[in-house]
Chain A
Amino acid sequence: MNEKKYMNPYLAGFFLGLILLATIYITGRGLGASGAVKSVYTTIVESVFPGYTSNAKFYQEYGKEHPGNPLKNWLVFEVIGVIIGAFISGLISNRLKFKLDFSPKSTAKVRIAGALIGGLLFGFGAQLGRGCTSGAALSGMAVLSAGGLITMAAIFGGAYLFAYFFRKMWI
């Protein structure tokens, strides 16, 4: 069976906006993604090196903001939901397949390295910038947070700025 077409972007955007609005109305906070990585990461460090997290400053401040088990975190539950939701969507649209996506002009090796380095940079940047495209840019736009909009401008501005140097990976 063929993959189904993607949803009209404006319609998808409208639904996404309504989901974000409902999130703000119900919980008083926006959507996010990178925060869940931080929670899972902190849990891993805590279980592999017990006691370590109470010494280093980063974990201390994290613990202050999020008392209790780091996995018992709103974003962790939300991201588990994202995995389920995306899986359901892939299932009904015939897009479930183990596959490495890369441009025909590029190679699998380049793509793997790119994904790893890109993930690393995004993970790092999201910590420094207090949120990623979901938590800072999109949710920040909904509540018109100055910081969120600055981060949004920097993410997309930065991407356009650097896009030229990595064009061979994509086009």
Chain B
Amino acid sequence: MGPLVPEVIGNELNFIVALFIGIAFGFILEQAGFSSSKKLVGLFYGYDFTVLRVFFTAGVTAMIGVIALNHWGLLDMSLVYVNPTFLWSAIVGGLIMGLGFVIGGFCPGTSVCAAAIGKIDGMIFVGGSFLGVLIFAEGYPLFENLYLSDAWGNVRVFDSLGMSQSLFAFLLTVVAVGAFWVTTFIEKKVNGEINPEFKPVKLYYTLSAIAVVIAISAFALPDRKENLLNKISDEKFINSNNIKLMTPDELAFRILDEDKSIQIFDLRSKKDFDSLSLPQSNNYTFESLFEKTANKLLSLKNKKNVFIADDEQTAKKGAVLAIMLGFSDIYILQGGMEQFKKDIIYFKMPGIANSQSEKDTYRFRTKASNIFPKLIQESKEKNKSSGDKKPKRVVGGC
């Protein structure tokens, strides 16, 4: 499950990855003609819409790819950097960049490309951008209020507009395709002819058609997460599944035995988990089972994954969800946490045992009820000191 950094690809190797990504990025920018300021500003005077075509195609491709990877559970969006929104600095900064674009004829990435192939104006632009950073850095106290005002956090645009991700992605794709279509007419009018550099009209239509089909399919596909969450709220469906049960005695025995193959997924509320949690257990919600932390644990081999909740039914929902997500060796705690508390943690001898096995059970439970409060206290302190174990979002942006 992505992102691959930092587990699959270490932080040091990531720099090498950056270098290779940069090579591909620079190569494509230059091949697209972004090393020429004349080509870049053509967008603003109507004689060359290359920038719009490249930019929108790239944005839409990546956007649909991200949605698809997330949709199929291959990318954990909660770990991907989403540029934070600071309303006024985004608008004012953007307008200043727009002004810089028409005066300078480049943006930072393209100026580097231009400089790399010997364009002197590109090199001067890069030098100018250092001066721009200098002014910002030295004058920072002056701009700080504007820089930090109206902070919305790492919001995603469809959430702030109150629409679904698919709908927004679909509309954006339609706008992009519409812009591709309209700009060919503008270009023709301004230049008096079709841009002679390329006129594969058939290719335009084919690519546009493919983009529309992909956009429609992204729109029409039901969201996997929502779909699965709906499924597990259906009691009938849950009851039709058979999940292996683990008795409180077995779980207690394995915990006391320090059995390392046990992984406990506690689905109770955060509050209950904080006040009383079993050793070797982690707190999850149905939602967080989709994320990378849970995925990593669940995909470990030779482990017994025990789902616990206040009652058996809730644990079963989590277990069914884990199975639908493709994981195995799933167990649920019989009778839920309530039963475990009654049988083990707060065990009281009900009377005289009737048989040898009952006697053994009672003896074990008495012993366990003496040890468990200590273990629970230890685990509580451990949870506190380790703090929030969730992996952090990558820090990205410029």
Q: Which B residues are in CB contact (< 8 Å) with A103?
A: 38
A154-B95 CB under 8 A given contacts A17-B59, A90-B118: yes
Please give me the residue from chain A that is nearest to B117 by CB atom. Answer: A90
Query: Any chain A CB within 8 A of the CB of B113?
Result: yes
Verify A101–B86 contact, CB threshold 8 A. no
Contact call B106/A143, Cβ cutoff below 8 A: no
| Contact in complex: A145, B154 (CB < 8 Å) | yes
Given known pairs A28-B81, A88-B27, the reply for A115 and B136 (CB within 8 Å) is no
How many angstroms from the CA of A38 to the CA of B56 in the assembled complex? Answer: 27
Q: Please measure, in the bound complex, the distance between the C-alpha atom of A113 and the C-alpha atom of B219, giving whole angstroms.
A: 48
Query: How does the 8 Å CB contact mask read for A83-95 relative to B, with 1 for contact and 0 for none?
Result: 1111111100101
Q: Are B134 and A12 in contact (CB-based, < 8 A)?
A: no
Within 8 A of B (CB), among A37-95: 37-38, 40-42, 45, 56-59, 65-66, 72, 74-75, 77-90, 93, 95
A145 touches B108 (CB 8 A): no
B4-31 vs A: 1/0 string, CB under 8 Å?
1100010000111111111111111111
What is the chain A residue whose CB lies nearest that of B99? A162
B97 partner, pick from A21, A23, A65, A122, beta carbons under 8 A:
A122
Residue-by-residue, is B359-398 near A (CB-CB < 8 Å gives 1, otherwise 0)?
0000000000000000000000000000000000111111
Q: How far is the CA of A12 from the CA of B40 in the complex (A)?
A: 14
Mask of B76-87 contacts with A, CB within 8 angstroms, 1/0: 010111111111
| B 93-123 binary contact with A (CB < 8 Å = 1; else 0) | 1111111111111111111111111111110
Interface status of B259 (Cβ within 8 A of chain A):
no
Interface contacts (Cβ under 8 Å), in number, total 573
Is A8 on the interface with B (CB-CB < 8 A)?
yes
Q: Which of A7, A97, A158, A161 contacts B31 (CB 8 A)?
A: A7
Output the least CB separation between A73 and chain B (Å). Answer: 9
> A119 to B124, Cβ gap below 8 A?
yes
A88 to B28, alpha carbons, bound, how many Å?
A: 10
Q: Which of A42, A98, A123, A129 has the most CB of B within 10 A?
A: A123
Stretch at the interface among B45-53, B228-236, B248-256, B316-324: B45-53
- Closest Cβ of chain B to A137, distance in Å, is 8
Known: A96-B117, A128-B143. A84 touches B22 (CB 8 A): yes
User: What is the minimal beta-carbon distance from A27 to any residue of chain B, in angstroms?
Assistant: 5
Minimum C-beta distance from B63 to chain A (A): 5
Interface residues of A (CB under 8 A from B): 5-10, 12-35, 37-38, 40-42, 45, 56-59, 65-66, 72, 74-75, 77-90, 93, 95-103, 111-112, 114-163, 166-167, 169-171
Extra 14 A-B pairs, beta carbons < 8 Å, given A17-B65, A40-B130, A162-B98: A10-B207, A12-B32, A15-B24, A16-B28, A77-B19, A86-B29, A101-B105, A114-B103, A122-B108, A126-B97, A128-B136, A132-B109, A138-B55, A151-B83
